A and B are shown apart, each in its own frame.
Chain A
């Protein structure tokens, strides 16, 4: 084992003189009394290794001993990851005693004494490749596939496999022989370095199916595709975290990995408290059952922020390799970029824009590139859909993190301060936001088949009405209510109708907070139909009172269960508003 001694300390950047070989990104431990403080090698010159300590450097001395592990930063992958709360280095937070985390304190991600009911799914003599399924165990609502560890190369012959029954995670459940004749014992747990994508899949698809979030402004107007990427930039107070949490609650994914990266601890506490209670709309079980939280809050070690997003991504890829639909949420990727900046600065590297490291765009692009929908050699499909938030300094989108992200993420959800101030939630600006998936032929074909014919045209039509409404509003506010043609008022109110009846959604209402695609399509058709219908008005105040009546009815519909009696009643009343409108103007 390589050993070394500290020769330099600058905050959490250590210089270590080593006596043997070291690897770039190797994990090492500083021995300080009883403590073993973890660090990662980030640069090597001659016999000096530079390492970033995942703690504060306080109390360290030149001459302190360092041990090198030979491994990169790895995570444990196996049954029991779901429902757990990890820190950024995959320590199980629940397993740590006391109110405080001590420097260097560790706890195993998976408890090797835990038992699972194993069912073999492969037979002796089978030739296995990395990622091939050996067996399965139940994990909450999921069938957790035990795969040949991803580190294996070539074909491996299964020479022993456990009979069905309960086994501990530490027990051997199979033996394989590789092409060289070496025999390996397998447990249900494997390890994988977080910076390396898990690539046991055969092909990666162009995203074509909708990933349902239950939010109308996303699913209909700016849809994210399964295996797609999206980002939410926004100044503080515009509701990034609230929006991401709404998506975490309402999605139809089978596994959700939530990474709280450098944000407020109390926000994570709220998730800890609510997720065990809230129902998962996809399965009817508790949300906690399908959720894993990786939590490196803003006061936890800065260097572990980068690790936290990779730990989350690697666990997401692991469940994707089993064939599941995974949603990965990271709040906020800016904090990770800032952690990179702090370290680059201490290393005295030449800075890029705003003192961020020059490789930032590449790092972000590579990370977003790990999302996607894939097919395994045996035909099973899995996906990682990734949604990250960005916290631009001063709310100005012209900064390196927002710009680098905009080049790689396919959907953009612009949070608008104006909408937030006006309490129009979700505060996503429907026109500034975009989804590139709407232009994908595959995606369009999917909507034609699964939602309805001409769907994307209808979406564009709704957006046009919104755009026209904004122009009309500007004209009205410049020229005054009386000085513009009545058409302007009508255009403006049509856009208000779409805003109030369709875009705005009450996340505190049990019914309205989540809208199925079927329901969204019904509502969009109904709104568009009404915009198209003939309307007669004598003056502008009539326009607003007419539309206010419609908006009120639509709101009542949104609050009622789909196709319930109430829903139908309000739906019919919409028509009677029209008949009174026509009568009034005729009279």
Chain B
């Protein structure tokens, strides 16, 4: 970036650390962007005349005579409908080889939605995946992460969910994702024919890690633009929030902040909440739904990142590999959608809550039978039946590869129950049995 005329250039750096530099400068705004020998940087501390800058790509090779130019602006973004179908980096610059977008410039920090103006999120967001639509139904305006071990195909599933969900707009924020996954997103988006409703902000693992701190603000500002000004149903995808939090920890460490649990900054909860709370349903019809990915360390959910996330989001979806069938499923036990109560049985068919619970209960019986078997106890006739049921339930409903409507999921649920069980084993309300219980086929 070249300084325009009349802009002062500072060349006397007083201190350098791995990620920051300090110099004397006047009239500087907090959060303002700057360039240090062409590298992007941001003001993170003002103390008297001293200004400390965080240099996103690191300070390696910088001299004390590096040229510092201030932009006079906090991070901002150009907003326009033309963002659709495009790919940008963490500074909002096009990385798809096309022209920069023209439009309104907007500060990316954004404002808080007045809680009394929020609407109760109660519009179903179907994905065709039974682990979500049947067991953990999503609604627009909700925020929910996938909790996944690093060996799970979470980004592929995230892309799949995004393309199937009924939304007007998708905004993808990639933070530290592999270049391969970036290409996968790109291919899937383009192959789907929906490429032109998607806006992507990408920081891959090849880019400087601190740059990914800028991604969520760009993503949320874009989402808010489409949801507020164009009243669209916006779906936001954020992957991987764990790598985002790791970058927060680096900055906090370089700022000499005392770490709290798991070397994370004490402000982790607020930092994550500021992003996730952008999920909202507006009265005018626009909405922002956030589906994120939080990768786990060996399934440990007590680690500060998933733990704080769990306190913020409205549920979580656990990806796991079913040991019996080898299929990837969304774990019916540990997953939860806190907002499903707002739609199941009312916006979906009346038998939804009862069928969902009965199936999960039977699946729980199967898991008990399995541990009984592993401990060398004899299995009774019921145990054998629930085990058969569990496998069929996994193959015919839970498999994330399936793409079926909610009514069809419920019908399959009834067929599964009638295949392996008698009515009295289910504890479902009689009037629903009368209406939906399929005739046994011999």
Contacts and interface: CB of A to CB of B under 8 A. Distances in A.
A355 B109 CA distance: 27
A100 B220 CA distance: 14
Nearest to A85: B116
Chain A contact residues: over half helix, strand or loop, or mixed? mixed
B302 A264 contact: no
Interface string A107-134: 0000000000000000000000000000
Contacts of B47: 7-8, 10, 15
Interface stretch (A56-64, A431-439, A467-475, A532-540): A56-64
Contact of A298 (B258, B277, B302): B277
A268 B115 CA distance: 8
A479 to B, nearest CB: 13
B336 A237 contact: yes
A99 interface: yes
Contact of B307 (A264, A393, A421): A393
B27 interface: yes
B304 A393 contact: yes
A268 B244 CA distance: 28
Contacts of B26: 62
Given A266-B141, A393-B304, A393-B307, A99 B258 contact: no
Contacts of B303: 394
Given A8-B47, A266-B339, A269-B119, A236 B113 contact: no
Nearest to B139: A266
B274 interface: yes
Interface string B1-39: 000000000000000000000000011111100000000
B310 A345 contact: no
Interface string B273-292: 11001101011000000000
Interface residues of A, number: 59
B260 interface: yes
A302 B107 CA distance: 20
Nearest to A7: B48
Q: Which of B44, B257, B339 has the most chain A CB atoms closer than 10 A to its own CB?
A: B257
Contact of A99 (B114, B277, B307, B339): B114
A57 B30 contact: yes
Interface stretch (A90-98, A138-146, A222-230, A314-322): A90-98
B321 interface: no
Contacts of B29: 58-61
A96 B114 contact: yes
Contacts of B142: 266
Contact of B28 (A56, A62, A341, A346): A62
Nearest to B261: A393
Interface string A525-544: 00000000000000000000
A342 B270 contact: yes
Interface residues of B, number: 58
Contacts of A297: 115, 277
Contact of B302 (A269, A300, A339, A395): A395
Interface in B328-362: 333, 336, 339
A564 to B, nearest CB: 22
A146 to B, nearest CB: 28
A17 to B, nearest CB: 9
B266 A299 contact: no
B120 A266 contact: yes
A351 B258 contact: yes
Interface in B234-288: 256-261, 266-267, 269-270, 273-274, 277-278, 280, 282-283
Contacts of B114: 93, 96, 98-101
Given A338-B270, A421-B333, A100 B112 contact: yes
B274 A299 contact: yes
Contact of A236 (B109, B112, B310): B310
Interface in A325-364: 335, 338-339, 341-342, 345-346, 348, 351, 354-355
Nearest to A12: B30
A9 B30 contact: yes
Nearest to B311: A236
A354 B260 contact: yes
A270 interface: yes
Contacts, number: 158
Interface in A280-314: 295, 297-300, 302
Contacts of B107: 58-59
A93 B260 contact: no
A103 interface: yes
Given A265-B115, A265-B118, A266-B121, A58 B30 contact: yes
A60 B112 CA distance: 19
B312 interface: yes
Given A101-B111, A237-B310, A299 B302 contact: no
B157 interface: no
A396 B339 CA distance: 26
A100 B107 CA distance: 14
B258 A295 contact: no
A346 B256 CA distance: 9
A421 B142 CA distance: 22
The listed residue with most A CB atoms (<10 A of its CB), out of B74, B109, B258, is: B258
Q: Which of A60, A262, A299, A391 counts the most chain B CB atoms within 10 A?
A: A299
Contacts of B278: 299
A407 interface: no
Contacts of B84: none
B45 interface: yes
Nearest to B119: A269
A545 interface: no
A63 B312 contact: no
Nearest to B277: A299
Contacts of A7: 47-48
Interface string B91-112: 0000000000000000101011
Quick one: which of B113, B114, B303 has the most chain A CB within 10 A? B114
Given A236-B311, A266-B339, A341 B30 contact: no
Interface in A238-276: 262, 264-266, 268-270, 272-273
B296 interface: no
A345 B30 contact: no
B207 interface: no
Contacts of B256: 348
A341 B260 CA distance: 9
A94 B115 CA distance: 9
Contact of B120 (A8, A270, A351): A270
B117 interface: yes
Nearest to B333: A421
A102 interface: yes
B327 interface: no
Interface string B39-51: 0000011111100
Interface string A411-423: 0000000000100
A258 B50 CA distance: 44
A8 B48 contact: yes
B310 A99 contact: no
A269 B118 contact: yes
B74 A59 contact: yes
A59 B111 contact: no
B266 A341 contact: yes
B314 interface: yes
Contact of A59 (B30, B49, B260): B30
A93 B269 CA distance: 24
Given A57-B31, A59-B30, A297-B277, A342 B115 contact: no
Contact of A355 (B45, B120, B259): B259
Contacts of A99: 113-114, 117, 228, 282-283
16 contacts: A8-B48, A9-B30, A57-B31, A58-B109, A85-B116, A93-B115, A93-B116, A99-B228, A262-B273, A264-B314, A266-B120, A268-B115, A338-B266, A338-B269, A355-B266, A395-B307
Given A62-B46, A295-B115, A394-B304, 5 more contacts: A60-B29, A62-B27, A94-B116, A262-B270, A354-B260
7 cross-chain pairs, A with B, having the tightest CB-CB distances, nearest first:
A299-B277, A298-B273, A394-B302, A236-B310, A100-B111, A58-B31, A9-B46
